[in-house]
Amino acid sequence: MGPAGNTKLRPAWAVLRFACAAVLLCGLLAPAKMAWADEGASSSDASSQQEVDPSNRINPRQTPDNSFLYDTSIDELVQADSSYQGNYVQVVGEVVGDSLVAEEDPGCHWITLESLETGSSSSISVLIDDKYLGYIDAYGRYNQVGTKLQVRGTFYLTCPSHEGIMDIHAESVQLVENGIKEHEQFDIATFIPGIVLVAFGIALTFLYNYLHEKER
């Protein structure tokens, strides 16, 4: 073949050589890329396994307990059933009545918490440590709103330590709101009807005496 034929074949050979080189290069890079991907996935799995705290794994054999907190109300506890026995509860109520020394529990007092629900008179006895008595500045009674407390402790529908009464053994007490002592203001208007009646009675007495003397 002459020089002209060789000139025509050179571009075809160049294209063929480039294609072969590209195929060879892809063949060499593909295993390396796959190996790098496998290594990255392995390292990612290993790091994720290292980050997992064994103590946070779910144990399907674990049974439920009563260690969590029931944020409930006094009204609900008063109507509770035996499933509430021994549960850790939280309630908010107004301190009413008086505090009593817990003779069977040295260093403790009994207080009564009354429901804050409108129209409700539900109440429950609470055994508290003496250190919490300082939170109470007023006991609910006539013309006086008692201190509002938040109590956390163990609820007993029938307390085995206190003759089966319903109570809460407080472990934590927080002040919610101070009590209010209402002072009645003197209002003369409330005495006006009585004053008028007394004056009318005195006038009738004088009139009777006058008429009686006149008849003589």
Note the CATH number of domain 69-181: 2.40.50.140
Q: Which residues of 73-94 are buried (b: 16+ CB within 10 A; e: fewer)?
A: bbbebeebeeebeebebbbbbb
pTM: 0.55
Q: Is the model's pLDDT at 200 over the cut of 80?
A: no
Question: H/E/C letters for each residue in the chain?
Answer: CCHHHHHHHHHHHHHHHHHHHHHHHHHHHHHHHHHHHHHHHHHHHHHHHHHCCHHHCCCCCCCCCCCCEEECCHHHHHCCCHHHCCCEEEEEEEEEEEEEECCCCCCEEEEEEECCCCCCCCEEEEEEEHHHHHHCCCCEECCEECCEEEEEEEEECCCCCCCCCCEEEEEEEEEEECCEECCCCCCHHHHHHHHHHHHHHHHHHHHHHHHHHHHC
Q: Which residue has the higher pLDDT, 215 or 73?
A: 73
Q: What percent of the chain has pLDDT over 90?
A: 49
Fill in the amino acid letter for 83. S
Q: What angle do CA 183, 188, 194 make, to 5 degrees?
A: 120
Q: How far apart are CA 129 and CA 43, in angstroms?
A: 56
Q: What is the pLDDT of residues 181-194, one digit of tens each?
A: 876 565 677 778 88
pLDDT-derived band of residue 60, with 50, 70 and 90 as boundaries?
very low
Q: What is the mean pLDDT of residues 125-151?
A: 95
Q: Is the model's pLDDT at 147 over the cut of 90?
A: yes
Q: How far apart are CA 154 and CA 169, in angstroms?
A: 5
At residue 63, the pLDDT reads 41
Where in the chain are the domains?
69-181
